[in-house]
Amino acid sequence: MLSKKMEQTLNDQVKWEYYSGYLYLAMAAYFEELGLAGFANWMHIQEQEERAHAERFYSFVNERGGRVVLQAIDAPPVKWDSPLAVFQESLAHEQKVTARIGALMDLALKEKDHATAAFLQWFISEQVEEEASVTEVIQKLKLVESTPGGWFMLDKDLALRVFTPPVIP
Ligand code: FEO
């Protein structure tokens, strides 16, 4: 059984994961407006992953006898200055998510809630990957910054990303 505090914090995370998806969808819309379909594809896949994360938190609250209470999701930004600015914001966002997952783990350990700690372990590792995949795109964007046509080459690269449903225990 979850403590009330843990139930509330996990519910907050459901909202946070859906917000992450909403943010990536807003980024996809920005890229679609620019005609960068590959960048948009990357963001759509990111959004699907975030939904999978949210659904896993949702299921976990239920499995542990808690009550899911959905919260209002904030509106994401609409515009950015450049593709690089978009990915820099993605990285800053993922770093916040990493800190939230870390705080959740701290709470689970403090409460000796071993089931929640075991559940969160997957998300701890996932955040390492999330930050690494965004950083990889930032590095590529910096490399092509002064190369005419660089965005379009990278666009073709990002078009290849496919959604693989995460296997979350
Ligand atoms: Fe659900 Fe991008 O972390």
pLDDT in tens, 11-21: 999 999 999 99
- Annotated binding residue 126: no
| Other CB atoms within 10 Å distance of the CB of residue 71 | 12
Residue 127: the pLDDT is 97
Res 165: pLDDT: 87
Euclidean distance between CA atoms 140 and 127, whole angstroms? 20
CA of 57 to the centre of ligand 1 (A): 12
The yes or no reply on domain 4-158 and CATH 1.20.1260.10 is: yes
Spatial separation of the C-alpha atoms in residues 123 and 108, rounded to whole Å: 13
Enter the pTM of the model.
0.95
37's tokens: 């379909």
pLDDT of residue 95: 98
**Separation of alpha carbons 158 and 36, rounded Å:** 10
| Band of residue 168 on the pLDDT scale cut at 50, 70, 90 | confident
3-class DSSP assignment, residue 46: helix
CA of 50 from ligand 1 middle (Å) equals 5
Whether the CB-CB separation of 83 and 141 falls below 8 Å is answered with yes
